[in-house]
Each structure stands twice: as structure tokens, then as C-alpha cells.
Structure 1
Amino acid sequence: MFRVYNSLAGTAHRLSFKAASTSASLRPSILCYVRYKSTRSSTSAIEYKSSHIRRQFPPLPTPTPTAEEAVTNILYNTPAPSAEPEKRHVLNCLVQNEPGVLSRVSGILAARGFNIDSLVVARTEVTDLSRMTIVLRGQDNYIEQARRQLLDLVPVWAVLDYTQTIIVEREMLLVKVSILGPEHIHDRPSAGSDEEEFMPEADLAEESPDATSVLDNPIIIDDLTPSAGLRQKHAHLQSLSNLAKLFGAKLVDISSDRVIIELSAKPRRIDAFLELIRPFGILETARSGE
């Protein structure tokens, strides 16, 4: 009897140990299967949230402020205007070469109140593609909003902001400067005045027929002898030549009373050059834009 009980107990012990070892070996695979099966569907999160209903809290009481409290709340919660200073921004737009694109781009910028410092449009090496370079001033958030609005236009391919990018900027300047000094510059008499300007026939014959000649609007000199005027012209011309050489400019046209200087440089360098030649008497300037 004792032997039978021991044999039965040993058999039961072996069976229980075998079952335990089998379940222990299958447990990782079962857990992985359950986890994989529960997360393979994209709606698993929705099913989880629907099965776990949140606790419903009672609604909060709605406040009923007075008019004074409402106005005070509006005044204190209204954000103050941005104190960020305006910066110079350079936008490069790649647009379709078709009529009306320039007016649409400038219209968007004008609607937002931007003053365009420079706007240059030219064709690129790609057919039907133009490059539009816009220089303006404004705050970063307003410029970014305007850039996105420009990008939404149908003929605009891309709008690049080169403000924080190291780029090469060049601008061309043509400036007409007097070599007699600003004190000898007077307005030309009108066509309807009684006194007409006297020009000998010999001077008329020697005048260049070119319409772009600098002699189209001659300067009238008062109270200056010919010798003094000649010495003054040569002194001013020498000073202008030295300034032009210093800035890398060149004299493209010289007449008896004025000179035209051409300069290609950075915008700041052009501004500095104009400030230096301003005392000589600037008659006219033309800048190509950046």
C-alpha cells in the first residue's frame, strides 16, 4: 500500500513538473502574440479608450462678469505691440515669366504696408523662369507671413529668404556730378520765359547729337572768371577722380561742367560714396537695385 502511494505521488509530481515547465516555456510567446495582436490595428487606442470610460465630472459654473470686469479683462489680456525692431530682409522669388506677376507680387507687399527698398526682376538661364530680388524692411513674423502669401501665388515657384544667409550683393550706380561746385548750379530757364539762352552757332555745331549727352541741361555760371572757373573745374575733377579710384569706380563721361561716374559695389559702399561726393553737387543719380 505504501509503495503504491509513493508511485502514484511520484507520477503526479512528474506530471505537475512537466506541465509547469511547458507553461513556462510558452508564456513569452503567448505574451508577445497578445501584445502584437493588440497593437497591430490602428484603432487599438480608440478601442482602449472606449472600453475605459472616463469619470464624468459635473460642469463648472459659468461666471457672469460685469461690464467693468469684462473691459478690465480685455485690457489686461490684450498683448502689447511687438517691440522687435525692423530688420532688412532680402527675398528671392523664382517666378514664371509671364505678364502680371510683378503687379501681383508688389500688390501683396503693398497691402501689408511694406515699403520696398529695392526690386529687381530679370530672366534666368532657364526658359520662362525669372528671378525677382526684393529688399524691404520689417519684423520677422510679418515678413514670414508675407513670404508665405507670395508662395501661395500660382506663378511663383519658390520664395527664398536670404536674410540670415551669407550672399554676394552688388549694385550699380550712375551718378552725374558737377565739377563747378553746388553754388553755381541754377535751374534752366523755362521755355516760356522772355529771356532765351544764347548759344552760338559754332557751339551748336560742335554739340553731340546724342540725346543722352550731359550737355542737354547746361549749368549757368555767375560771378566766376574763366581762369578761376578753369582752375576750379580741374581741382574738382582731380578730387572726383581720386575718390572714384579709391572706391573702384570709373568716369564714363566728362563734359565742360559735369562728369558721370559708374560704380558697382555693395549698397553700403555706394551710400558712403554718395555721401562723399555730395559736397561737389550731385545733379542726378540712378541705381540698379540689388
Structure 2
Amino acid sequence: MLLNNNVTEFILLGLTQDPVKKKRVFVVFLLSYLGTLLGNSLIIVTIKTSRALGSPMYFFLFYLSLSDTCFSTSIAPRMIVDTLLKNSTISFSECMIQVFSFHFFGCLEIFVLILMAVDRYVAICKPLHYMSIMNWQVCSMLVGVAWVGAWVPSSVQIYLALSLPFCGPNVIDHYLCDFQLLLKLACTDTYMTNLLPVSNSGATCTVSFVMLMFSYVIILHSLRKHRTEGRKKALSTCISHIFVVIFFFGPSIFIYTRPTETFLMDKMITVFYTFGTHLINPLIYTLRNAE
């Protein structure tokens, strides 16, 4: 519900206001986005068309690549076009859509990474029962739970964002709309609301990261009992997953565990987990995967 909202659009300052630097940003991020689309699309198409990639691991990888593609698309096209404009504005409705989609696909990626860790745990620690535990019904149900799980916190954030009153400043010193940035523009006391990114996004990222790293410690410990050939293959897969987890969660935790503080490096760190991670993921999963 909108409350006393006199703002119909927001001004995005982007990464820089320098015309020369904006051209460089345009080239770099256009190539990054195209690389992300190409890499993840190839993974999606390959998994869907190849019978050899029919295991649960590739089932979850399909959804990871899908969430990567959607996450990048919710931010990149708008940001790339804005670098060509002298003054970049985004309507109130577009801003709210970006806030929701940004967090929805980010949460979806978190839950898919957790499912991939569960899959590796069962495959390595319970190999004899792997196919009976991770059957297609279970995998489909888990993915459905991930979609619902991503929808809940995203809906809470967009509801609170729509409830904020905006009556004055409408300049966002960033290249995207995010709940934390909107809080700074609200013409009301947002002290308690400021804690939401920490209790919602921050806690989700931190708890998920700790759970994932703990699970991989257990998996790596159990690999000592495997034969050399099987251990090398499982180790290669787990290391790929660990790299993805660190690259995605590290910057996210840095941004969303601070309710009010703002650092100069925040924009560049946001760039890493909104652009860099989703470009790196296809490279990690393909270069380190013989299949």
C-alpha cells in the first residue's frame, strides 16, 4: 500500500558521471552481460538436450544457470542503457519491480546452491542410497520449495518498500534500486525498518553460507575413505561448488549485514555479485567438469 507518496520516479547516479568512464563502463558491462547470457544459456540448452547429463546434480545446475540468467537480466540491461544517457531515471513502478526480481532470483540462487550441496552430500556420503533418496520426485519437490522460499522474503521486502513514504529527495547514488537505498530516501523514521536487510537478506546469506561451508567440510572429510579416482572426481566437483559459494556469498554478506553504514567500495562490491559472479559461474562449472 502506498503512503503519501509524492515521488513518481528516481534518479540513478550510476557508477560514475564522467562521460569517458561511462563509455568504458558500457563496453565492460555489455560484454559481461552477453558473456553471462551465452555461458548460462549454453549450460541450460546442453543439460536439456543431453541424455548424458540427466543426474540430479545437472538438474539443479539447470536451475542455478536459470537463476543466474534471470538475476542478471533484472539489473544489467537497464544499467547498460543508463550508461548511454546523460540523466538516468527509473519510474517508481520499475524500481519496485527491480527490487522484487533482484531479491527473488538472488534468494532462489541461494536455495539452489543449498540443494546442490545436499545432492553432493548424499552422493558422496550415502552413495548406495543416492538414487533412491535423490529421485526425480524429491528433486522436483525441493526445487518447488526453493521457488516458494525465494518468494516469501522477496514479498516481505517489496511490501515494506511499497509502504515507505517518499516525499522529497529522489536521487539514488547507485546503478540499481535496492531496499537499503530506498530507506535512505524515505521521509519517515526508518531505524527499525533498517534492521530488515540484516534480519532478512543478511541473516539468510550468512546462515546459508555457514551451512554450506559446514556441509562441504563434512563432504571433504568423508572423501578420505574413497578410492583415488573417485576422490579426485568428487573433489573437483566440490571445489567448483565451494568457489561459487564464496564468490556469491562473500560480497552479499558484506553488503547486507550492515544496516546503516555506507562505504565507498559498496558499488564495486555490488558489481561483483550482480555481474561478476554470474559470469564466472558458467566458467567454473564447465572448465572444471569433464562431462
Calculate the TM-score normalised by the size of structure 1: 0.23
Per the normalisation by structure 2, the TM-score is 0.23
Q: Which has the higher contact order (CA 8 A, sep 6+)?
A: 2
Which structure shows the higher strand fraction? 1
